[in-house]
Amino acid sequence: MSVGLEQYLLLSAVLFTIGLVGALSKRNAIIVLMCIEIMLNAVNLTLVAFYRYGGLDITGMVFALFVMLVAAAEVALGLAIVFSLYRSRETVDLAEMDMMKW
């Protein structure tokens, strides 16, 4: 059993699907943020695998680096929003955060 590009891509697809299902079906805002992090990691894994097996040049790794930068920014801001919502509503349940619903 040798490992090639396809095994890495399949693993990324499985990981992305787990993250997607979790992000769509969970009610705890922090769990949803975690699932988004899992999806970003899956994408990074795909980019690095494409770099290693020659589909992308070294640019694949540069892109993965920028994805990490944006992920760090995203999680910091996302948690700040969850905090301020928790302060005003005493919950992180997304089903109860409907003040912008018309």
What is the C-alpha to C-alpha distance for residues 44 and 47, in angstroms, rounded to an integer? 5
List the one residue out of 38, 41, 45, 34 whose CA is nearest residue 10: 45
Task: Determine if 43 is a binding residue for another protein (CB under 8 A).
Answer: no
Task: Determine if 10 is a binding residue for another protein (CB under 8 A).
Answer: yes
What is the C-alpha to C-alpha distance for residues 80 and 32, in angstroms, rounded to an integer? 14
Task: Determine if 3 is a binding residue for another protein (CB under 8 A).
Answer: yes
Q: Is 91 or 102 the residue whose CB approaches another protein more closely? A: 91
What is the C-alpha to C-alpha distance for residues 59 and 93, in angstroms, rounded to an integer? 39
Task: Determine if 97 is a binding residue for another protein (CB under 8 A).
Answer: no
Footprint of another protein on 45-84 (CB under 8 A): 45, 48-49, 51-55, 58-59, 61-62, 64-66, 68-73, 75-77, 79-84
Q: Is 76 or 102 the residue whose CB approaches another protein more closely? A: 76
- At 82, the amino acid letter reads V
